[in-house]
Amino acid sequence: GGRQSMRLARWLQDAKPFALNYIAGEPDGLILEAGLVDRWVVATFEDSEVKAAAQIYQQRKQLSKGLHFLLVQPDDSGMTYTGFWLLNFER
């Protein structure tokens, strides 16, 4: 809900993320990178459809030269958002 999304948005603001990356493995996962050495596991998954979506995400991020965004929403309505971060990571 709204309170949890606000807490997450505040934590993200303090963490100062610069990238959200898909990492293949057992299980696959999304890793949030911030600072020089800080990394957090945002999600892990083994579902083949989620893996395919994550691979497309990573490919599109490469096509945009590392430019991507992170959005925190308080609910599924799509009407509001709690936080928005423009991220940029080039390898």
Domain spans, the chain:
2-88
Q: Where does residue 35 fall: left (phi above 0), alpha (psi -120 to 50 degrees), or beta otherwise?
A: left
Mean predicted confidence (pLDDT) in 55-78: 92
Indicate the range of 5-19, 39-53, 69-83 predicted with least confidence: 69-83
pLDDT at 90: 61
For residues 51 and 90, give the distance between their C-alpha atoms in angstroms, rounded to a whole number: 22
The model carries a pTM of 0.84
For residues 20 and 29, give the distance between their C-alpha atoms in angstroms, rounded to a whole number: 10
Mean pLDDT of all residues belonging to the chain: 92
For residues 86 and 47, give the distance between their C-alpha atoms in angstroms, rounded to a whole number: 27
Burial class (CB in 10 A: 0-12, 13-18, 19+), 23: middle
pLDDT at 35: 83
Question: Above pLDDT 70, what percent of the chain?
Answer: 97
Q: Which amino acid is at 44?
A: T
pLDDT at 60: 96
Mean predicted confidence (pLDDT) in 13-41: 94
